[in-house]
Amino acid sequence: MGGSPGPELPPVVLSVGECVELDSSTRRRSTAQALALRARTVSACADGLSDSDVARLLAVSRPTVTTWRARFLADRVEGLFHEARPGRPRTVSDAGVADGSPQHPSGAPTTICGPG
């Protein structure tokens, strides 16, 4: 018994490819800061630090570290990218966002400025 509350998660062991991908995610300027923090969290866990030590090192809460450690163990690197969003589900698809054509949930195009 290590004295830590809750179940102890298995250690994080990274493959060479995962290590390279996480390192790259922390260094790339185009990486979202939230993703870079997740990558740093998992890397620190893989270095053998406890969740409490990782939380202190990265200035995040222990539950945050536990969440991302568990997501990584369940889904590996892919689990760090697709986080469920709280709130109402999206009504515009990724394709609609990408091509800049907003649509009403019924599928009818919407006009921004009204009838012309």
| Within-domain flag for 36 | yes
For the entire predicted model, the pTM comes to 0.62
Question: Range of 59's domain?
Answer: 16-81
pLDDT tens for the chain, 116 residues: list them: 444 555 677 888 888 888 888 888 888 887 788 888 999 999 999 999 999 999 999 999 999 999 999 999 888 888 887 656 677 776 766 666 556 655 555 666 555 565 55
| Within-domain flag for 105 | no
Give the separation between CA 52 and CA 49, rounded to whole angstroms.
8
Question: Burial code of 74-97, b = ≥16 C-beta within 10 A, e = fewer?
Answer: eeebebbeeeeeeeeeeeeeeeee
Return the pLDDT at 111.
Answer: 56
Number of domains in the chain: 1
| Within-domain flag for 2 | no
Return the pLDDT at 23.
Answer: 83
